[in-house]
Structure 1
Amino acid sequence: MQALALAVTLVVMVLGAFVLTALRVWWFAPLASNWASMDNLIVVSLVLCGAAFIVINLFIAYTLYAHHSERGRKAFFFVDNPRLEWNLIWFTGLGIVALLAPGLYFYAQVINPPKGPYVVEVLTQQWLWSYRYPGKDGVLGPADVRNYTAANPFGVNAEAPASRDDVPALGGPLYLPLGRPVLLRMRSNDVLHSFYVPEFRMKMDIVPGMVTQMWFTPTKTGAFQVICAELCGVGHYNMVGQVVVVEPDEFERWLEQRPTVAHTLQPTGNAQR
């Protein structure tokens, strides 16, 4: 009786999961970047994993129903079944290839930005998102963790000519121009963080001592939430930020109104050229 109850439970679970997926009760946030291909990749993974989930659970339910214990019935034992095992190996191998191959293809695109993207530095620390924009020269000046102070969390060398016109935005929000490829170069001042905006379909870990990067092209104006997708401490729940995508002209006006490194930091006497 318990076996039959478990079989019914498995069937109901499969039907419930299928209905929730078909009705899109939990689904993607509205797309706001060029990465529609990520949606396709996730759908492929969902279909493959969903098919395996349905087949395996329905097979278990059938087995429980067809072979549940009855008085007088004896179980049959066999040591192995090479044909079944080889079939499972082939099906499993094909499934892994079908999952990995598209992922590797799209990942190659993620780590290779187009020529001439707009570069913005992302700086993380518990529990704050900060950003640095290139100034009129279009180049981010040198920065080093050894230059870090409370007044200079980016570690910018204030004497370097390329740094003087950089525009810091401590605590954000991250302003971006619509329709222009953006390359985010990301650093951490303390622990592991992860930059994630669901509408952009992009997520990248930010590792202390390294510079990681990702790129995308905003395709919709509006405000979007930045989420830290790595457990970064007791205040992890509060590490959220905002991305504001605006028209290019509005972005340029906003950038011109921001104070530069030259206005916020004094030279340190340690120029890097």
Structure 2
Amino acid sequence: MQALALAITLVGMVLGAFLLTALRVWWFAPLASNWGNLDKLIIISLVLCGGAFIAINLFVAYTIYAHNSHRGRKAFFFVDNPRLEWRLIWLTAIGIVLLLAPGLYFYAQVITPPQKPYVIEVLTQQWLWSYRYPGKDGVLGPADIKNYSPANPFGVNTEAQTSQDDVPALGGPLYLPLGQPVLLRMRSNDVLHSFFVPEFRMKMDVVPGMVTQMWFTPTRTGEFQVICAELCGVGHSTMIGKVVVVEPKEFERWLEERPTIAQTLQSTGNAQR
């Protein structure tokens, strides 16, 4: 009875997992970027790993039920089975290739941004997301953590001409134009963070002392949530932000209405006098 109960439990576990997946009880957030291929990659992994999960557990359930102990019955012992072992080795190797090959193909696309993306700087700190846009010259001015001050959180080089017209957005939100490839260059002012927007299918760690980057193309207007996917301190759960994807003309209007770095520093200096 114990063997039968355990076998039924394993079959029920497999059936429950299959139904939860087939009915999409927990599934992807609605796609809002060009990275639908990553969904395909996850589905390939899910099918391969799910197939192995089902096969192994059903085999274990059958073995428990069909070969449970009976009085007078002895187990058969053999040292090895080279034929079976080689079959398992080849089957495992094929499974690994099927998992890795699509991943390497898609990863090559992820790390290769288009030639002329719209570049935005992302600055993280406990527990805030901030952004810096290029001004009318289309170039982000140089910045360095050594230039950091409360009045200059991005650490921009205020003497550089290309920095004067940059547009900061302290605390966000991150406004993006629809259909425009966007390259986010990310820095941290303190500890390790991770920029994650589920609808964009992109996540990248933001590491102190270095610049990391990720790119995508927004394909749907609306508001989306930025989540910090790395434990960054006691306020980690509150480190959320907002992404707003709008039509290109609306984005241009929003950008023109924002004060530039030069205007921000000037107003801060006047306030301190």
Would the TM-score normalized by the shorter structure come out above 0.5?
yes
Per the TM alignment, residue 71 of structure 1 is displaced from its structure 2 partner at its CA by 1.6
Q: Does 1:192 align with 2:218?
A: no
Per the TM alignment, residue 52 of structure 1 is displaced from its structure 2 partner at its CA by 0.5
Distance in 2 between residues matched to 1:221 and 1:242, nearest whole Å: 13
Residue 76 of structure 2 aligns to a residue whose secondary structure is: coil
Uncovered stretches (5+) of structure 2, i.e. residues with no partner = 267-273
AA at the equivalent of 1:206 = V
AA at the equivalent of 1:135 = G
Return structure 1 stretches of 4+ with deviation > 4 angstroms: none
Residue 15 of structure 2 aligns to a residue whose secondary structure is: helix
- The match for 1:163 is 163
- The match for 2:269 is none
Residue 43 of structure 1 aligns to a residue whose secondary structure is: helix
Identity of aligned residues (%): 83
Distance in 2 between residues matched to 1:22 and 1:260, nearest whole Å: 51
Aligned residues: 266
Distance in 1 between residues matched to 2:130 and 2:150, nearest whole Å: 13
- The match for 1:14 is 14
TM score, norm. by length of structure 2: 0.95
Distance in 1 between residues matched to 2:91 and 2:128, nearest whole Å: 46
Residue 259 of structure 2 aligns to a residue whose secondary structure is: coil
Residue 179 of structure 1 aligns to a residue whose secondary structure is: coil
Per the TM alignment, residue 3 of structure 1 is displaced from its structure 2 partner at its CA by 2.4
Per the TM alignment, residue 15 of structure 1 is displaced from its structure 2 partner at its CA by 0.4
Per the TM alignment, residue 194 of structure 1 is displaced from its structure 2 partner at its CA by 1.0
Residue 265 of structure 1 aligns to a residue whose secondary structure is: helix
Aligned alpha-carbon RMSD (Å): 0.9
Per the TM alignment, residue 2 of structure 1 is displaced from its structure 2 partner at its CA by 2.3
- The match for 1:137 is 137
Deviations 1:48-89 (A, max 9, x none): 010011001101111111111122211121111111111111
Distance in 1 between residues matched to 2:76 and 2:123, nearest whole Å: 63
TM score, norm. by length of structure 1: 0.95
- The match for 1:214 is 214
AA at the equivalent of 1:100 = L
- The match for 1:203 is 203
Uncovered stretches (5+) of structure 1, i.e. residues with no partner = 267-273
AA at the equivalent of 1:27 = W
Distance in 2 between residues matched to 1:199 and 1:147, nearest whole Å: 34
Distance in 1 between residues matched to 2:102 and 2:207, nearest whole Å: 26
Deviations 1:173-199 (A, max 9, x none): 000000100000011111111111111
Distance in 2 between residues matched to 1:6 and 1:189, nearest whole Å: 53
Distance in 2 between residues matched to 1:172 and 1:227, nearest whole Å: 13
